[in-house]
Amino acid sequence: MAVLEGANVRLRPLTPDDREEVFGWYNDPELVAPFDRYSQETFEEFCRSLESAPDDPTSLAPRFAIERRADGLTVGVLGHYRAHPVLEYLDVWYVVGHPAARGQGAGSESVGLLVDHLFRTETVERIGATCDVANLPSARLLEKVGFRREGTLRSALFHHGRWHDVHVYGITRSDPRPARPPA
């Protein structure tokens, strides 16, 4: 599997050593849950999902770990999946699990690397992403990478006891993508 090098981050396959920490992020309400409902039920299921992901384009399992190049710290994970049974596009998702590593560009650089990689290696013309309308850092990240807001789904995501509206973002192969500093 590919390793994607950016100026400040490296996207690499997850190793067995990453699993406990990443599983911990998924289940920490302060880290991932404020805007999401997604969590794995058990550690064993999480490990199984990592193993089956390469053969399953719909898998929500993380496909890359985000490693900070300066000190080798694993600061997050991200993934992509076929989001719709008929429409032909991929959605991306992303988590910077170390709160102290947020706001320094790791998330947007990583998503930019992933988008470039997917347009190089997949035949899709569009890559999408969704985020809770209240998730301002996520929306800002997507706009920095070149995604455009295409609309809003009302009451599409249930978490924290109520339904939430969700912004839909997309970027097409021919859309401008901001240049990143070389690796």
The residues binding ligand COA (CB under 6 A) are 32, 35-36, 93-96, 102-108, 131, 135-138, 140-141, 144
Q: What's the chain look like in SS3?
A: CCCEECCCEEEECCCHHHHHHHHHHHCCCCCCHHHCCCCCCCHHHHHHHHHHHHHCCCCCCCCEEEEECCCCCEEEEEEEEECCCCCCCEEEEEEECCHHHCCCCHHHHHHHHHHHHHHHHCCCCEEEEEEECCCHHHHHHHHHHCCEEEEEEEEEEEECCEEEEEEEEEEECCCCCCCCCCC
Listed residue (138, 77, 80, 136) closest to 110, CA to CA? 77
Q: Which is nearer to ligand COA, 44 or 100 (CB)?
A: 100
Q: How far is the CB of 6 from ligand COA (least distance, A)?
A: 11
Q: Which is nearer to ligand COA, 51 or 152 (CB)?
A: 152
Q: Which is nearer to ligand COA, 53 or 113 (CB)?
A: 113
Q: How far is the CB of 110 from ligand COA (least distance, A)?
A: 8
Q: Which is nearer to ligand COA, 51 or 151 (CB)?
A: 151
Residue of this chain nearest to ligand COA (CB atom): 107
Q: How far is the CB of 17 from ligand COA (least distance, A)?
A: 21
Q: Which is nearer to ligand COA, 55 or 177 (CB)?
A: 177
Paired residues of 142 in beta bridges? none
Q: How far is the CB of 169 from ligand COA (least distance, A)?
A: 9
Q: How far is the CB of 94 from ligand COA (least distance, A)?
A: 5
